[in-house]
Amino acid sequence: MRDLRLPVLVALSLFLAACAQAGAPSTSLRASEETLGSFFGWDDDIDPAVAEAERAAQEERIEAAVVACMAAEGFDYEPQVWEVEAEESWSEEAWDEDEMVATEGFGVTTWWGDEMMEEMGEEVMTEGPTGEDEWIDPNQEIIDGMGEDEFQAWQDALYGTAEEQEAMVTVEVDPETGEETEFHEGYGPGCRGEAEEAEHGAEMETWEELDRLMADMEQQVADDPRMVEATEDWSACMAERGHDFADQEALWDEGIGALEDRMDALVGPGGDDDPFDGWSEDEIDAFFTESSEDEIEAFFSEFEETQPEVDTAAIEALQQDEIDLATDDLACRDVLDVVNQEVYAEYESSFIAEHRAELEAIRDAREG
């Protein structure tokens, strides 16, 4: 079962990291310097209504592709589209990093006990594609009319067979702990995976190509004497506050990693044990498809009753440690943020001039 808190946690962490890199706008940037943000339009204000319309259009294209694929496999399939209300647009003027860091830290442990996060999770679990409180699967009537073998074949066509799913999973083993981590490659098999890849695969390839082109530039920025000096000053400032990190990467790898490890020790990886541990994707899908609402609710209630007591005081102390670390980082990187932005802008301008044809091809592919 996917942890519903993880996407929000990741989004918050990336958002804070991005703001840390960008910092306050610098008045010393030359007007002639073209950045990747301006080149790709990342600096433009995004209209939430336009973004929502594009997301809905993507979902419609994916569902239409699934319908066509399932028909080719000899099955009926009713499309479904998740409707999410557009959020208010974000503006730099409304962003108060001091306030966010003072309450959320890096967003690594502070989600625990956050009423807003819990409400978001409940909405995801209870609301359907149209935003209704109780979701009715548009394919339920089709499924109800199937025998067991036909339903299995329908699921195999939609999501791929168990063997096809396993073939797209790689397992990495931590040499120190022996812990196994599964990584799902691509977009999955079956009609669903094919439709997702057709919609998003080309865009993902452009990101990978951009990462490849930027690798040398990223190293040049890190090695620039101005960045080296600013990073050393940041590290010295953090040391005065009791933290031993050579650079921002060490902060995230070691400092954030230690917070995550402590959180896992208190609440388990991801915040909860997995009620579907050991189940296959087909078994999970069948459970939700074939079980009544009361049966599903009873299943999760019984699972919750088996969960161990959580040391709330220890979690609150850990959250305060995170906020303290994030607050110290924010106080120490004021100069680093400005230097980082200025140096990046210079190197990005040269990078764009050197790779303009390739970057224009990536931009055209993304916009196309």
pLDDT score recorded for residue 20: 41
Residue 283 lies in a domain: no
Residue 52 lies in a domain: yes
User: Binning pLDDT at 50, 70 and 90, where does residue 18 land?
Assistant: very low
Residue 221 lies in a domain: yes
Q: Which DSSP string do the residues of 134-162 spell out, in sequence order?
A: S---TTHHHHHT--HHHHHHHHHHHH--H
Nearest to 267 by CA among 302, 301, 318: 318
pLDDT score recorded for residue 25: 38
Q: What percent of the chain has pLDDT over 90?
A: 36
Residue 28: is its pLDDT beyond 70?
no
pLDDT score recorded for residue 267: 82
pLDDT score recorded for residue 91: 52
Domain that holds residue 48: 5-272+307-367
Residue 170 lies in a domain: yes
Quote the mean pLDDT of the chain: 79
pLDDT score recorded for residue 75: 96
Angle subtended at Cα 295 by Cα 293 and Cα 299, rounded to the nearest 5 degrees: 120
Q: How many CA atoms lie within 13 A of 123 on its CB side?
A: 12
pLDDT score recorded for residue 272: 52
C-alpha dihedral, 119 to 124 to 126 to 132, nearest 10° = 110
Residues 186 and 184: their CA atoms lie apart, in Å, by 7
Per-residue CA distances from 264 to 271, 318, 356 (Å): 7, 11, 45
pLDDT in tens, 181-240: 778 788 889 999 999 999 888 778 887 888 888 888 999 999 999 999 999 999 999 999
Find the range with the poorest average confidence among 29-33, 77-81, 177-181. 29-33
Q: What percent of the chain has pLDDT over 70?
A: 76
pLDDT in tens, 36-72: 888 887 766 667 777 788 888 888 999 999 999 999 9
pLDDT score recorded for residue 313: 92
Report the chain's C-alpha Rg in angstroms: 24
Residues 276 and 286: their CA atoms lie apart, in Å, by 12
Number of structural domains (the chain) is 1
Residues 107 and 322: their CA atoms lie apart, in Å, by 9
Q: Higher pLDDT residue, 164 or 270?
A: 164
pLDDT score recorded for residue 176: 79
Residue 362 lies in a domain: yes
Residue 179 lies in a domain: yes
pLDDT in tens, 278-297: 777 667 877 887 788 888 88
pLDDT in tens, 346-356: 999 999 999 89
User: Binning pLDDT at 50, 70 and 90, where does residue 277 land?
Assistant: confident
Residues sharing a CB contact under 8 Å with residue 300, sequence separation 6 or more, in sequence order: 275
Residue 20 lies in a domain: yes
Residue 333: is its pLDDT beyond 90?
yes
- Helices 334-354 and 225-240 pack at an angle, to 10 degrees, of 160
pLDDT score recorded for residue 16: 39
pLDDT score recorded for residue 87: 53
User: Binning pLDDT at 50, 70 and 90, where does residue 88 land?
Assistant: low
User: Binning pLDDT at 50, 70 and 90, where does residue 363 land?
Assistant: confident
Burial (0-12, 13-18, 19+ Cβ within 10 Å), 127: middle
Per-residue CA distances from 270 to 96, 288, 319 (Å): 28, 22, 16
Residues 138 and 113: their CA atoms lie apart, in Å, by 35
Residues 155 and 152: their CA atoms lie apart, in Å, by 5
Residue 152: is its pLDDT beyond 90?
yes
Q: Which DSSP string do the residues of 211-247 spell out, in sequence order?
A: HHHHHHHHHHHHHSHHHHHHHHHHHHHHHHTT---SS
Residue 17: is its pLDDT beyond 80?
no
Residues sharing a CB contact under 8 Å with residue 110, sequence separation 6 or more, in sequence order: 103, 104, 319, 322, 323
DSSP-derived 3-state class of residue 113? coil
Residue 300 lies in a domain: no
